[in-house]
Amino acid sequence: MLKPLLLTLLDIGLSCFIITPLVVTFWATVWEFIFRYPDWFPLWWTLGVSWALQIAVTLLRDILYEIHVKIRGWHFKIVSRLYIYLYCLVGLTGWRALWFLMEKYFDLRHTAVGLAVCLVPFVVISGSVNNLLALPYSVGVDHDRTSLYKYNTVFNVESTQNLGWYLLDCVFSVCVVGTLVVSVWRGHWSLLRSTSTRVNRPNLPSRR
């Protein structure tokens, strides 16, 4: 009884105080690089490329899994880490573009907060509340081959069932759900920023 409790506490501690800061540092580093070279990352172009790549990977995830499952040993470690790293870069650049497009078209603080609040029911209806969770609540591991590719979409349509519905499911999961999640994140960030009493507030998402 004591051992599972200690392992649970250790797991929570690692997630909160080691994994979370490292992940947030990676996010901040990618965004800082984009801030330094804004001409390389036009907002609409970046968002379009990010969505296209994410949809392509989602559509081909079964094929990628079948290819990857044949890779063994250190080859698997290299390929899987490279895949995760590139996919993270694609996702982060897309989130950043979407975030700042919202800054551009919904610049008012109250509008951002209102938009976030109004979109929460749509996140609930679409069954995507779990996507609002970030570290330390959702921690993945790199050595699980299945979880790298066999992730769920909103409707979990299989490619062998109906190709058209499968395509729509992938597009909806990437574009619509991703937009809803980023909208809620940004709105709540704006709310926290507006109610913060600290002198030196975090200003990363506000930079242009």
Joined together, the tokens standing for residue 204 give 């990363």
Token pair, residue 93, equals: 């650049």
Handedness of CA 196, 202, 205, 207 (dihedral sign): positive
Contact 98, 47 (CB under 8 A): yes
Placement of tokens 């080859």 in the chain? 75
* pLDDT at position 89: 94
- Judge whether 15 and 135 are in contact, CB under 8 Å: yes
Sign of CA dihedral 124, 87, 104, 202: positive
pLDDT score of 105: 80
Q: How far apart are CA 203 and CA 33, in angstroms?
A: 15
**3-class secondary-structure state, position 1:** coil
Q: What is the pTM of this model?
A: 0.81
Beta strands in the chain (DSSP E): none
CB atoms near residue 31 (< 10 Å): 18
Q: Is pLDDT above 50 for 199?
A: no
pLDDT digits (tens, 9 = 90+) for 91-148: 999 999 998 998 888 765 666 666 666 666 766 666 655 555 555 556 666 767 777 8
The answer on pLDDT for 158 being more than 90 is: no
Residue 197 in this model has a pLDDT that exceeds 60? no
How is residue 33 written in tokens? 């690089």
Q: How far apart are CA 91 and CA 84, in angstroms?
A: 10
Alpha carbons 72 and 68: distance in angstroms, whole number = 9
pLDDT of residue 165: 93
Query: pLDDT of 163-193, one tens digit each?
Result: 899 999 999 999 998 888 888 787 777 777 7
Which tokens hold the place of 126? 């679409």
Tens digits of residue pLDDT in 13-71: 888 888 888 888 898 899 999 999 999 999 999 999 999 999 999 999 989 888 888 88
Amino acid, res. 113: V
- Is there a cis peptide before residue 136, judged by omega within 30 degrees of 0? yes
**Rounded CA separation 102/107 (Å):** 7
